[in-house]
Amino acid sequence: MDDWRPAADLMTLRLRAKVLAEIRTFFAERKVLEVETPLLASTTTTEPHLASMEVLHGNGYEGLHHPRHMKERRPWKWTSPPRGGFLQTSPESFMKRLLATGSGPIFQICKAFRAEEVGRHHNPEFT
């Protein structure tokens, strides 16, 4: 069974890296600024046809994967109440805020996340 192997072979990964480098070079030569906007937002999308992924986060946790407790095997628990957030369905709103403050030309290559879109042509996480 090869379930542990990555979905993409090394040739595909190298080709992807080359394409990304060429995209960055293209924009850099044109003085377009590469930006990185948040993946986690406190609110969901305003697009009614897009389903956001909600995540919980907090100030910390203790549990099986916390280095202090690996030997003791304590059960997992939050050390503070978890808060909710949403993974971005698109970087558009964050990028528009940058443009509105005078950033000039910008681009971004990033992950986006959409719930309820799974299939041959749809992956919940995509670039």
CATH number reported for the structural domain that contains residue 36 in this entry: 3.30.930.10
What is the C-alpha separation between 102 and 120, in angstroms, rounded? 39
Higher pLDDT: 120 or 19? It is: 19
Tell me, yes or no, whether 27 lies in a domain. Answer: yes
Structural domain boundaries, residue 109: 10-126
Tell me, yes or no, whether 28 lies in a domain. Answer: yes
- Report the domain count for the chain: 1
What is the C-alpha separation between 36 and 94, in angstroms, rounded? 9
Tell me, yes or no, whether 1 lies in a domain. Answer: no
Tell me, yes or no, whether 46 lies in a domain. Answer: yes
The two tokens of residue 16 are 């992807």
In this prediction the pTM is 0.72
pLDDT tens digits, 84-101: 788 999 999 999 999 999
Tell me, yes or no, whether 5 lies in a domain. Answer: no
Measured in whole angstroms, the distance separating CA 62 from the mean position of its chain's CA atoms is 24
Task: Kindly state the average pLDDT of the residues 5-18.
Answer: 90
Decide: residue 114, CB within 10 A, 0-12 exposed, 13-18 middle, 19+ buried: buried
Work out the mean pLDDT of the chain and round it to a whole number. 83
pLDDT tens digits, 26-70: 999 999 999 999 998 888 877 878 888 888 766 555 544 555 555
**Nearest CA to 96 among 109, 106, 87, 88?**
106
The predicted structure's pLDDT at residue 71: 56
Question: Torsion angle of alpha carbons 50, 38, 113, 107, nearest 10°?
Answer: 90
